[in-house]
Structure 1
Amino acid sequence: MQYNRFHASTLLAGSAMALALLALAAPARAQDAGPTELQAVNVEGDSNGDSVVDIPAAVSKSDRIKVQERYAGDATQVLRSTPGTFTREPADQPGITVNIRGMQGMGRVNSMIDGVPQTFRNLSGHGGTFDNLLYVEQNMLVGVDVTRGAVSGAEGMGTLAGAANFRTLDVDDVLLPGKDVGVMSSVRAGTNGFDYSRLLAGAARTDLGEGEMSVVGALSDTKKSPYENGAGIIYPFGGDQHPKSGLFKVNLSPNSDHKLQLGGIWYGNEFLPGTSGYNWVINNQTYTAKYSYTPGDDLFDLHANAYLNITDLEFDGTNGNVTSFDGRKGTNTTTGFDISNRMRFDLNDETELKLYYGAAYSRDRYKGNAKRGANPDGTLVKAGTFAEATISRGIFDVTGGLRYDYWSLEGITGYHAPGTNGCPAAGDPCPIDTLSRSGSDFNPKITVSARPFDWLQPYITYAHTSRPPTASEVFYPGGHSFDGSSDPINNNPNLLPEKSRGVDLGVNLTGSDLLTNGDEGWLKIGYFHNRVRDYITFDLDTDGTMRWVNVDGTTIMKGVEIEGGYDAGKYYAGFSVTIADTAQPEGVAAGVGDVGKLPDDFATLDLGMRFFDEALTVGGRMRYTGKSKQAYINEDMAYNLPSYTLFDAHASWQINENAKVFFNVENVFNKDYMKANSGLMDNYAGIKNGRGRTFIFGATAKF
């Protein structure tokens, strides 16, 4: 099958390159290695990450310990443990859809792998979704960074609600401290549908004149089978999948001023969503080139990035369904680049000025075959410039920003079926007309923060954001074009961009020696209030045609987000709480291919203790999800889902610097529940889709 051929060729090429570079780099260090000295065991605790508590914005970071050990690599649960952040999580779809503050899909949230936007989408069957889907193999993840609200820089271009960046393995994640050549291997096995997961990675670094060169390569895969819910019933739409992935990164630093990183990551998977009735064969390739010039002065902190992402989809009817859309093929290609710089000036003894400015460009193109169905061909280009200036004086910081976002859209209005309207009978559907649209917005932002005490930082932000309509919305061809035809009547070339006017009000608190000497605690509390105009939803237009339309009036989304942590060495705690009202407009066919709903309230509490000089960590977690709703047709037919509370357990033991073992139990009390925001078909099946009690054992070795 195409899936296997693609997987084998791409992984072989990437692995060969990485291992060849590894072989070249290793001898240079090995000659001078000398006697081997044991390094101190590195214990990572529950902290505030990269000082998120010092940032006057709604930002959250999850590190490798949280992702891989406490959540066993489950990125969706990591996101749901983040305030104001959720996922659309059908049991039959491994693609990740990030929901921030009640908004998801169509580019409302910029979901990225290593800073590269993942824009693939495919509407397939009733209960399908046009949401952006991000595909990443769980072993490759070392962290997830989330920004809620207006996002600075290139990551915020054309984005309405926020951004989430999934970070993957790099050299320092593989090498032991003080080592220049190393191998890391990780393996997991479990129960209740978690068959196994494994990773093999190698890395090396070597001197390069005044600088250095380093390389990392990795291969991983995870095998999952159908699972039982809390009632002991096998959920029928959570079927087999076996994602496989490869990664390489090369870092070149001729000196301390310049750095270039070249990287690539591949993902391949095959699975059967119940919404479509066909096996999906997914292949995702993401390539990056990142350059930085950081001489250490006040004038240059320059970064330039270029990227390419290609996601290929094919419908395979080998499961027995070989009619209608069997043989669908589509390719989503995203290319882009951005450049930015930071500068700093001392205006006088009391006043400092910081400048951040740059530009960005991205091109998102979808091309399908005759069985594209409701997935129109089209290209969306986004480009823009951005600038922010921060003046610091005394206890106050004032940041003023302005971004110019431009967009252009081009696509096919529809297709004539072969043998109709002059279209040759023996051939592909014939395009009708090409239509193009463009527009632009100026989006200002201002933040005022203060530091009256070392432990206190209040802030307030007012910002505008906007999102252009996508080709999926403007050129919607209708849902059942089995012969490849479509009708322009379903298009809406008059769609307007969504625009948000938002306020973030927050406070950061931090302290040490709170309950005992040497402890640390931190807390972020925030309130958001967003007013969205021209919200786009799927509905009956004034002429009675089903299409994507702008909703009249203003959609208001608001809520409170709380996140904090405490670490005293021998014990720690971390928590997040969201209390929000983010109800968005629903069309008459809501839920059939459109709406993802955020629960009004959800929370996570993680408590743990450390033993044997903090080498052994044992912890437990509570996950609460409040009442939610799965939209379907209208208010009366919607599925109202009850709240649920789940308990998990986890443990890890750093045996020595080379070996670590870990253990996870999901849903300790085997609760039977329906996951919030899991999709229409999951609810329509009438069987609760929450995974029952699951044990996962794992180990990681580094040499």
Structure 2
Amino acid sequence: MITFLREGFRASTSPRTLLLASLAGLPFTAAHAQDAAQPVPAPDGAVVLDTITVTSGKTGDKVINDLAGSSVVTRRQIDLFQSSRISDALQGVPGVAVQETGTDPGQAVNIRGLQDFGRVNVLVDGARQDYQVSGHGANGTFYLDPELIGQVDITRGPVSTVYGSGAIGGVVSFRTRTIDDILKPDETYGAVQKFGAGTNGAGIVTNSMAGARIGTAADVFGQFLYRNTGNYRDGNGDKVRDSESELTSGLFKFNLYPADGHTVSGSALLQNYDFANNGDTGVGTRFRNDVTANTFTLGYRFNRPDIPWLDLSLKGYYTTTEDRKRVITPTTTYGSLGVRPGAPLSYSMDTAGFDVSNTARFETFGLNHALTFGIDGAQDDAHTRDRAGGYGAAFTPSGTRNLFGGFMQDEVRFTPWLRAVGALRFDSYELSGGGVTSDGSRVSPKLTIGIEPFKGIEFYGTYAEGYRAPSITETLIQGSHPFPIFNILPNPDLRPEVAHNLEGGVNVQYDGVLKAGDSFRAKASVFHNEIDDYIDSVAVGPVYNVPVVPGMPVQVCAFVPRLCAIGIQDQQYQNIARARLQGAELEAAYDWGGGFVSVAGTLIDGRNTVTGDPLNTVLPNRISTTIGFRLLDETLTVGTRLTFVDDTKWNVSNPEKGYGLVDLFASYRYDENISGDISIQNVFDRQYTQYRNSNASPGLTAKFGLTVKFASR
């Protein structure tokens, strides 16, 4: 086994084979299970499929009961692996990956092969994160530290009609920490202090949290976070330059309870990141980056069991992300334009939005309904201020985009074994900038039917459509690439993308499978997503030659052709006729009290159906498993996570070899107030680069965290 993990994959044991074997075993496992009462979640939160989620519909239900490809990452999971980046926290979620560069804390979520420009709707406390900067990496990143997260809800596919425009890939909703994360219901005030440290550049982290309940009238919560990371080394022992960064962050929340059922809430999240880099490629002009990423929310909720027809939610939010850059060392190309050290460049995105919805629960003709109506809207204002060569302003243009939508969704229970979810969503947009305007609108339907022929096994089928408006950058980008020289052209005639998704799945839940008190949960799904008018960058116009020496005039090519590159064309974002993504996913867990085992697997294929070429955003097949044991009266949890990635993406522009990773973890709870966590990642110091990442991934890394709590009842 050790040799196998060191060497990576053999063709006979690919993730595709392992996942298909796991899927084939689901009916057998379920057929031999015994139905029992509701489970009691494990003390370390291993049975996460019993956690409540609201991303596929605002009514709230356990993940295992959700008729969609949904998952949850809990705070306990984040602590167990001492996650220091979002990619650490989401590593074991099927169908999900995170593109990142080691030299920038910003990250982009990929769901089922779709990412960038809002194809995945990323929310922080319900607020859209629409920041994007064009470069050689991801086109659409966000900044958030795992220590700020209380829970992550993920819904895969264009099925979340209730959570805003554009999510043809899915929704990732981050809920930041709250007073309930540090105080039990009978505790009135308290504080939690965490200190963490790590090797191989993991650096140090201090996390201070405090909260108080003011009788039944209000509660307040505050958090201060500091993280300092250093340059890490990859599996070959090579240092990844500029992978160091410094974060200072604060979070404040309050809840007011003026009367029974009424809640007024607000939050302010402030983050500041400081780092330096040479861009996505590591060979560009070197900049000092000062990033602020702030999110503010204000909301009202009314919910009382005796008034089932009124479950009202109103929320307004404002997010702003700005990267203020200063040139440290210009390249030859930038220097030839007169760019000098200290020259400023800034990118910013301000998003103001709102979300209003109500769910009415009632019965008609023996049918139980949960009928939800809502409207939402957001305005994106992108501003680029460039006094450092002009390339930044050309590739990330300034502009404004307005999104507005409304939806209606009805969850109907026909019989104990038959239910359905029907929904319609209306979307519209307006985009302007640089003298160019565009707009559009559409109604997208959704229908899901769930059938439970046997107690504990529920099958579902879904047809859903999604709508994504073109982004400001895709529409307005215009300029010349510095080297090699070619033009990038705007396209005000871009049409929105429309997704048509067919999905089928099964949810399995049984207790008392092999012994009293154990539990088995599994979700498996297959999907086929056709995207009309998919937007991609394509070569256009005539072929021409350009100099291979930075700063050399183009005219040289006419006299000395050997100094020039041939076959260059301009680039432009255009609608290709159709893209197709299809695949299968599995998420399963078994918990027997003394331990747990879980598995998550993904098979995805994506193609441009016009040319037959693969889509570069589609990730390799992957399967992971986590095995843990609880010892010493469940005060000690130890285990391992194995991750296998195959080499099926050999035929795309940036292939990577398959690889296998081993992580270890241990968690000790001295009592309810003192705990310690240790994780060792990439135990065998494997050299690998996660698909689409700009830098090689870290080698062997150990992390330690100590948490101390004080609370009063």
- Give the structure-1-normalised TM-score: 0.83
* Identity level (%): 27
Worse-superposed segment, 312-321 or 333-342: 312-321
- For 2:349, what is the secondary structure of its paired residue? strand
Q: Which amino acid aligns with 2:158?
A: A
TM-aligned CA deviation for residue 584 of structure 1? 5.3
Letter in 1 for 2:310: F
* Partner of residue 520, structure 1: 519
Does the Cα contact within 8 Å between 2:82 and 2:677 map onto a contact in 1? no
CA distance in 2, matches of 1:584, 1:180: 57
Measured in 2, the distance between the counterparts of 1:318 and 1:459 equals 56
Structure 1 contact 491–547 (Cα < 8 Å) conserved: no
Post-superposition CA distance 1:528-584 (Å, at most 9, x none): 100011111111235777343334332110000000111111111122000111245
Of residues 86, 104, 124, the one that matches 1:75 is 86
C-alpha distance in 2 between matches for 1:640 and 1:318? 32
1:384 Cα deviation from its structure 2 partner = 1.0
Q: Secondary structure at the match of 2:697?
A: coil
5 Å-filtered alignment, 1:598-609, equals: 598-609=618-629
Which letter maps to 1:357? F
CA distance in 1 between counterparts of 2:499 and 2:308 reads 35
After superposition, the Cα gap between the structure-2 partners of 1:586 and 1:286, relative to the gap in structure 1 and judged at 3 Å, is farther
- Residue 82 of structure 2 contacts residue 703 of structure 2 at CA under 8 Å; is this kept in 1? no
Contact 1:658–1:701 (8 Å) recurs in 2: yes
| Structure 2 equivalent of residue 664 of structure 1 | 679
Letter in structure 2 aligned against 1:582: G
CA contact (8 A) 2:160 2:171 kept: no
CA displacement 1:430-481 (0-9 Å, x = unmatched): xxxx121111011011001112233011000001111011110110122458
1:158 CA drift (Å): 2.5
Cα distance between partner residues in 2 of 1:302 and 1:596: 42
Q: Distance in 1 between matches of 2:294 and 2:108?
A: 18
Secondary structure of the corresponding residue to residue 474 of structure 1: helix
**Cα offsets for 1:245-303 (capped at 9, x unmatched):** 11000111122310011101011112233324322221111001121111222210111
Is the Cα contact below 8 Å between 2:577 and 2:610 reproduced in 1? no
Letter in 2 for 1:550: Q
Partner of 1:213: 218
- For residues 238-277 of structure 1, what are the structure 2 equivalents within 5 Å? 238-275=242-279, 276=284, 277=286
Query: How big is each residue's C-alpha offset from its partner over 1:32-61, in whole Å with a ceiling of 9 and x where there is no partner?
Result: xxxxxxxxxx93331122220111111100
**Mapped partners of 1:83, 1:370: distance in 2:** 40
SS in structure 2 at match of 1:76: helix
Deviation of residue 351 (structure 1)? 1.8
Identify the residue that residue 284 of structure 1 maps to in structure 2.
293
Question: SS where residue 689 of structure 2 aligns?
Answer: coil
Tell me if 1:355 matches 2:394: no
SS of alignment partner, residue 93 of structure 2? coil
Supply the distance in 1 between the matched residues of 2:689 and 2:656 (Cα, whole angstroms).
7
Aligned to 2:509: 510
Q: Which residue of 2 aligns with 1:103?
A: 114
1:580 pairs, out of 581, 604, 611, with 604
Q: Which residue of 2 aligns with 1:314?
A: 324
Q: What SS does the aligned partner of 1:597 have?
A: coil
SS across alignment from 1:68: helix
Provide the C-alpha distance between the structure 1 equivalents of 2:448 and 2:277, rounded to a whole number of angstroms.
Answer: 44
Do residues 328 (structure 1) and 345 (structure 2) align?
A: yes
8 A contact 2:394–2:477 mirrored in 1: no
Number of the residue aligned with 1:163: 171
Determine if the alignment matches structure 1 residue 559 to structure 2 residue 564. Answer: no
Matched, 1:54 2:36: no
| Structure 1 partner of 2:560 | none
The residue type paired with residue 514 of structure 2 is L
| 2:478 corresponding residue in structure 1 | 477
Q: 1:204 to 1:72 in 2, by over 3 A?
A: same
Secondary structure, aligned partner of 2:117: coil
Shift of 1:329: 1.5
Distance of 2:94 and 2:164 partners within structure 1: 19
Distance in 2, Cα, partners of 1:365 & 1:481: 26
Secondary structure of the residue that 1:328 maps to in structure 2?
strand
The farther-off stretch of 222-231 and 151-160 is: 151-160
Residues 1:696 and 2:686 are matched in the alignment: no
Q: Unaligned 5+ residue runs, structure 1?
A: 1-41, 413-433, 683-688
CA distance in 2, matches of 1:451, 1:458: 6
Q: CA deviation at 1:167?
A: 1.7
CA gap 1:107/1:59 in 2 versus in 1, 3 angstroms: same
Report deviation, 1:161: 1.0
Q: CA deviation at 1:492?
A: 0.6
Q: Secondary structure of the equivalent of 1:53?
A: helix
Contact 1:449 1:459 in 2 (8 A): yes
- When the two structures are aligned, how many residues end up with a matched partner? 612
Q: Which letter does structure 1 place at the counterpart of 2:130?
A: T
The residue aligned with 2:657 is 642
1:393 equivalenced with 2:414 (yes/no): yes
Q: Hey, what's the Cα distance between the residues in 1 that align with 2:588 and 2:120?
A: 24
Take 2:471 and 2:409, find their aligned partners in 1: how far apart are those partners?
28
For 2:44, the equivalent position in structure 1 comes to 44
- Residue number among 103, 116, 124 corresponding to 1:113 in the alignment: 124
Contact 1:229–1:672 (CA under 8 A) maintained in structure 2: yes
Letter in structure 2 aligned against 1:123: S
- Cα distance per residue 1:601-642 (max 9 Å; x no partner): 1111000000122111111000111226599xxx6xx33211
The answer to whether the 8 A contact 1:500-1:530 is kept is yes
> Aligned partners of 1:103 and 1:596: how far apart in 2?
10
Distance change in 2, residues 1:562/1:235 (3 Å): same
Q: 2:72 touches 2:151 (CA, 8 Å); kept in 1? A: yes
User: Which runs of no fewer than 5 residues in structure 2 stay unpaired?
Assistant: 1-41, 53-61, 388-392, 544-568
Mapped partners of 1:377, 1:659: distance in 2: 50
Task: Quote the Cα distance in structure 1 between the aligned partners of 2:164 and 2:379.
Answer: 15
Q: 1:200 aligns with which of 208, 211, 217?
A: 208
Matched ranges for 1:676-691 at <5 A: 676-679=691-694, 682=695, 689-691=696-698
* 1:410 aligned to which of 432, 437, 447: 432
Per the alignment, do residues 539 and 477 of structure 1 end up closer, same or farther by CA in structure 2, a change over 3 Å counting?
Answer: same
Q: Which residue of 2 aligns with 1:451?
A: 452
Q: Is the Cα contact below 8 Å between 2:494 and 2:575 reproduced in 1?
A: no
3-state SS of paired residue (1:526): strand
Distance in 1 separating the partners of 2:314 and 2:239: 49
Change (3 A) 1:196 1:671: same
Distance 1:354 1:543, change over 3 A: farther
TM norm structure 2:
0.82
Amino acid at match of 1:43: P
- Match for residue 302 of structure 1? 312
CA distance in 2, matches of 1:114, 1:567: 31
Which residue of 2 is the match for residue 148 of structure 1?
156
In 2, the alpha carbon distance for the partners of 1:630 and 1:80 equals: 22
**What is the one-letter code of the residue matched to 1:512?**
D
Please give the residue correspondences for 1:463-502 in structure 2 after superposition, counting only pairs within 5 Å: 463-480=464-481, 490-502=489-501
1:431 equivalent in structure 2: none
State the Cα distance separating 1:100 from its structure 2 match.
0.5
- Aligned partner letter, 1:498: E
CA contact (8 A) 1:530 1:558 kept: yes
Residue type at the aligned position of 1:692:
G
Deviation at 1:214, TM superposition (A): 0.4
